Amino acid sequence: MANLSGKTALVTGGNRGIGRAATIALARAGAAVIATGRDAAAGAETERLAAAVGGVALFASHNVTREEDWIRVVDFALSRFGGLDIVVNNAGAFLLKGTAETSEADWDAIFDINATGTWLGVKHGMAAIAKTGRGGAIVNVSSLMGLVGYPQNAAYCASKGAVTGMTKSAALEGAAYDPPIRVNSLHPGVIWTEMITSQFGDDKALSDHFASETPLKIIGLPEYMADAIVFLASDESSYVTGAALTVDGGRGAD
């Protein structure tokens, strides 16, 4: 298992789903984690779950679309733990609407969270990691739909595609630091989280349907994404940057 002892990580959207699973996995691997979000009660539960595996996680209120919030939470990480080594830009929003039905307000809202929020995380995360001086890693959670198209999802696909391209550009910039800052994107397929269940419902028949459409015939779980995030954040991936890692049970291969 990766050893992240002595590292500090910041995970956006750390209150549920992939973000919570990533927070727990990073804490289990030894990192001190700042888990950010808007729900303090859910943040307290994330802290409790990290402590239950012997890790350390602290919740920080955070709106990823606001630059002043990014400055505040990064400063908190630096002051509380003395540095920042890992940033996981996970906070995101989903929109199931056709192109004709998507309003300008819909478009702007999706891009504010998925694209602008990630860009701000790269901007301020990279500066803080460089200031810490140990090198580090940034993981941007995109989507399989940041690589392929999908009907009724133009705004979401476009916003996640922006994350994919942004990651490659940032990886080239991060490689110029000494020590380098690696930047990679993670591309989940269908993952059984509130982002899915809030749109389509939460029942076994639906889960079985998604599993049947996946080549591996299993439903994606947040823990699978967390394992990939720990890998991309750790020295085990020290020669990996600018990559778009699909973790989708094979859905993108057909």
Which residues are designated catalytic?
Answer: 156
DSSP H or E run through 144? none
Scanning 177-216, the segments in alpha helix (DSSP H) are: 194-200, 204-212
DSSP H or E run through 133? none
Alpha carbon 6 to its chain centroid, in Å, reads 21
Give residues with Cβ within 8 angstroms of 85, minimum separation 6: 7, 8, 9, 31, 129, 132, 134, 135, 136, 137
Give residues with Cβ within 8 angstroms of 112, minimum separation 6: 65
DSSP β-ladder status, 8-11 and 56-61: unpaired
On whether the CB atoms of residues 168 and 240 are closer than 8 A, the answer is no
Strands (E), 21-174: 32-37, 56-61, 86-89, 136-141
